[in-house]
């Protein structure tokens, strides 16, 4: 008598309460993959909000029955919803931006991909759901004139001034993220301070070159000014009075104070704007996209290529040189 194989189909996964335990599992999975706490704290409320919406709309519709129409309904709901009350960027009666709504869709798609990978679903019902389009924006950057004003406003003869000079110099020289800069340890440099080892998103390590111009300021800061800021032994390049590293908020506040002192108005001055400025100028001066990708720590070249755009001044210079009218009138 031949053996008979019996296949038992998995029961549908209902939205409540099992989706709560699925989110806990997903959170644990993200932590195991070394995803940042910032990323996890962004994902979880979005997914909770998504499932709460569908639980209210569909009264416990099975998870494996959710499809494109359900995601579309949720995104339409978000377009009319006001910003979350706990959001630090909330405006009175303001709606979520197209970028935020796209972020919701991206997060939901990532979760459903994980469900398939983990065997909770046989196939991804929203795999082909296109992300909502967002308006294209020019990334804010600083001009050479604005940078000169910022650096001129620094008093490098004081310990804090020398420290802040090194902070700005490193941001402009390397394009580091604010958290990467704040967490730099003395042991992250090679012996000649030409290479910096950086832990980026997902704890991924990369090496970032340091120019001779940045090294000069760093050397002076370490020899003459850092001991005045912290007299004990600290692992960090930029220590606080307790020996721990400076906070992201400290770097942001110093950037804003310096912008005000330099008389810059109507322009954003922040570590992230320095990152944009570095990337844009690097490419403008002839740097290669692949090298820039490694320096910035991007996972894909597509992310880096967002910087391959021309500012209005670049467009004008190109137009002056290549306009067909110049061929006619310059002769």
The set of catalytic residues is: 177, 201, 272, 275, 298, 307
Q: 95 - beta bridge partners?
A: 82
Q: Could you tell me the two tokens for 145?
A: 């004139």
- 226 CB burial (10 A radius; 0-12, 13-18, 19+): buried
Place of tokens 């590293």: 245
Do 139 and 81 form a contact (C-beta atoms < 8 A)? Answer: no
Tell me whether strands 205-209 and 195-199 are parallel, antiparallel or unpaired. antiparallel
- Residues 6 or more apart whose CB falls under 8 angstroms from that of 298 comprise 304
Q: Could you tell me the two tokens for 108?
A: 């939901």
Other C-beta atoms within 10 Å of 287: how many? Answer: 14
């Amino acid at each position: 008598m031949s053996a008979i194989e019996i296949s038992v189909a998995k029961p549908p996964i209902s939205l409540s309460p099992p989706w709560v335990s699925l989110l806990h599992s997903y959170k644990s999975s993200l932590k195991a993959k070394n995803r940042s706490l910032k990323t996890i704290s962004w994902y979880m409320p979005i997914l909770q909000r998504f499932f709460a919406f569908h639980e209210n709309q569909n009264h416990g519709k099975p998870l494996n029955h959710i499809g494109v129409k359900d995601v579309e309904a949720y995104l339409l709901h978000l377009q009319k919803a006001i910003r979350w009350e706990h959001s630090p960027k909330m405006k009175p009666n303001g709606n979520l931006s197209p970028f935020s709504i796209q972020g919701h869709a991206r997060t939901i798609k990532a979760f459903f991909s994980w469900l398939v990978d983990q065997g909770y679903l046989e196939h991804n019902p929203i795999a082909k759901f296109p992300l909502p389009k967002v308006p294209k924006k020019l990334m804010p950057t600083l001009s050479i004139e604005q940078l000169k004003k910022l650096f001129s406003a620094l008093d490098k003869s004081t310990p804090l001034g020398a420290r802040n000079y090194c902070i700005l110099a490193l941001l402009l020289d390397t394009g580091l993220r604010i958290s990467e800069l704040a967490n730099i340890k003395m042991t992250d440099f090679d012996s000649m301070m030409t290479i910096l080892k950086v832990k980026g998103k997902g704890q991924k390590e990369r090496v970032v070159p340091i120019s001779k111009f940045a090294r000069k300021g760093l050397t002076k800061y370490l020899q003459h000014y850092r001991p005045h800021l912290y007299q004990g032994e600290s692992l960090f390049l930029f220590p606080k009075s307790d020996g721990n590293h400076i906070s992201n908020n400290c770097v942001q506040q110093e950037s804003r104070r310096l912008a005000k002192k330099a008389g810059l108005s109507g322009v954003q001055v922040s570590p992230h704007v320095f990152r944009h400025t570095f990337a844009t100028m690097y490419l403008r001066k002839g740097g290669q996209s692949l090298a820039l990708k490694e320096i910035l720590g991007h996972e894909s070249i597509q992310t880096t290529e967002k910087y391959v755009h021309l500012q209005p001044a670049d467009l004008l210079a190109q137009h002056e040189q290549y306009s067909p009218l110049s061929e006619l009138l310059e002769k």
